[in-house]
A = this chain, B = another copy of it.
Amino acid sequence: MSSVSISDVARRAGVSRATVSRVLNGSTEALVTQGTRTLVRQAVEDLGYHPSAIARGLAGKPMNTVGIILAYELPSVTTDPFLSPVLDGILAVSKRERQKTIIFVEDNWEDAFASLPVYCDGHCDGLVLVAPCTDSQIVGALQSGRTPFVLIGDSREMPGIAVADIDNVAAARLAVGHLLAQGHRRIAALCGNRELLSSHQRLQGYTEALAEWNVPQDNSLILPGQYWEASGSERARLLMELPIGQRPTALFCQNERIAVGALEGLLSLGIRVPQEVSIIGIGDYPAMIGATPALTTVHIPLRKVGERAVEMLLSHVQQSPEREERTILTGWLIERGSTAPPVCDIS
């Protein structure tokens, strides 16, 4: 294939390499005669020439490559209900914009931090960090470098840092607000990984919703944990050990994996959902659509987040004048079968 270089083309066309380059890069169309132009084109065609991305990279041109960094310890990256749509969005826009996509998978953000030099070794024009740990040093390190980057799922306000994320506070407020509107007053919060910002934001949404409805917050109903099914079922079971009066009548699960786990936990205890306890999650993950009863949830446009992240990154890379700094997308409530008004406990 390649191995035919610009010099070969130049020789064949009887011109200099510079001219070939000019024809190919079409800079200011007028700089080359129509004649030599076609001459060069012909030579390119004959030889099957294609420029080396590496060489032009070295010469200062963009590599047309975006790097995606994600930390994931489990064996399957593609089936994570959060990552999966985000990746799809990223890949879709990358393709549309004719960008190559390098996927860097690390076990955790410490490893990712250690690999920073690799991400910035010239291969990529810019980076997308998917849901970095709040306490990772990576963002700071990246800031003092020259590689443009965009954060997904870490929307703290930081001056000059580009972010694409969903509005976690609003999503949680929507979910908890729905429960409150149905009459629930004892609502447990099953939180996600505390090292992820989303978890704090969703807890804040919970707090805000309660405040809005003038319902006092009972901290014993706020349970830390992980964004996983097992963590959900475990906590759901735990809550059901409470004396009946102190039991929550509804569970606000910070994502849908927790919700699925919680549902399973309750059902295994013979507790009926939503008749005895309501469950709501955040995510609307396609993989969880089969749950019975179907889970009421807040849909969050994750694919869109992935899309916007790449779009923002490219606008940074290309130094567009109107580059956006923050894209925060909002979700919407989807009522299904796992929530209902509480039976007797409208206190």
**Which residues in B have their C-beta under 8 angstroms from that of A315?**
none
Q: Indicate whether A79 sits within 8 Å of B147 (C-beta atoms), given known contacts A2-B121, A65-B102.
A: no
A123 contacts which of B54, B83, B118 (Cβ < 8 Å)?
Answer: B54
- Interface status of A116 (Cβ within 8 A of chain B): yes
Question: Interface readout for A58-90 with B: 1 if CB under 8 Å, 0 if not?
Answer: 100001010000000001111100011101100
Residues of B within 8 A of A58 (CB): 52, 54-55, 58
Contacts of A122 in B (CB 8 A): 2, 52-55
Q: Which of the residues B95, B145, B286, B287 comes within 8 Å of A2, measured between beta carbons?
A: B145
Residue of B nearest to A292 (CB): B290
Considering only residues 1-39 of chain A, those with a C-beta below 8 Å from chain B are 1-3
Cross-interface CB contact of A76 among B63, B88, B104, B142, cutoff 8 Å: B88
Give which listed residue, B54, B76, B103, B118, contacts A101 with CB less than 8 A. B103
Contacts of A287 in B (CB 8 A): 79, 287
Tell me if A120 and B87 are in contact (CB < 8 A): no
Is A91 among interface residues, defined by CB-CB distance under 8 A?
A: yes
Which of B76, B79, B102, B147 has a CB less than 8 Å from the CB of A1? B147
A53 to B119, CA, bound (A): 10
Q: How far is the CB of A287 from chain B (nearest CB, A)?
A: 7
In the assembled complex, the CB of A301 is this many whole angstroms from the nearest CB of chain B, namely 13
The minimal Cβ–Cβ distance linking A93 to chain B, given in whole angstroms, is 11
A183 contacts the other chain (CB 8 A):
no
Contact yes or no, A100 B100, CB < 8 A:
no
Q: A215 on the interface (CB 8 Å rule)?
A: no
**Once the chains are docked, how many angstroms separate the CA of A159 from the CA of B176?**
63
Q: Which residues of A132-150 are within 8 A (CB) of B?
A: 141-142, 144-147
Asked if A50 and B121 make an inter-chain contact with CB atoms under 8 angstroms apart, the answer reads yes
CB distance from A37 to the nearest CB of B (A): 20
Does A225 sit within 8 A of B, measured CB to CB?
Answer: no
Please measure, in the bound complex, the distance between the C-alpha atom of A68 and the C-alpha atom of B35, giving whole angstroms: 40
Is A224 positioned at the interface, with any CB of B under 8 Å from its CB? no
Query: A105 is contacted by which of B3, B53, B91, B118 (Cβ under 8 Å)?
Result: B91
CB distance from A70 to the nearest CB of B (A): 10
Q: Which residue from chain B places its CB closest to the CB of A1 in the assembled complex?
A: B145
With both chains docked as a complex, state the minimum distance between the C-beta of A103 and any C-beta of chain B, in angstroms.
Answer: 5
Most B CB contacts (10 A, CB to CB) among A65, A79, A84, A121 go to A121
Please name all residues of chain B whose beta carbon is closer than 8 Å to the beta carbon of A116 when the two chains form the complex.
1
Q: Does A117 contact B (CB under 8 A)?
A: yes
- Expressed in whole angstroms, the minimum distance between the Cβ of A202 and any Cβ of chain B is 24
* A54 & B63 in contact (Cβ 8 Å cutoff): yes
Other A-B pairs beyond A1-B116, A2-B145, A52-B121, 20, CB < 8 Å: A1-B117, A1-B142, A2-B117, A53-B118, A53-B122, A54-B57, A54-B121, A77-B87, A78-B79, A78-B83, A78-B84, A78-B85, A78-B87, A79-B88, A94-B105, A100-B118, A101-B103, A103-B103, A123-B123, A287-B287
23 contacts between A and B (CB under 8 A): A1-B141, A2-B121, A2-B122, A2-B146, A3-B146, A50-B117, A52-B58, A52-B121, A53-B118, A54-B121, A54-B123, A75-B88, A75-B303, A76-B84, A76-B85, A76-B88, A78-B79, A78-B84, A92-B105, A94-B105, A100-B104, A100-B123, A123-B123
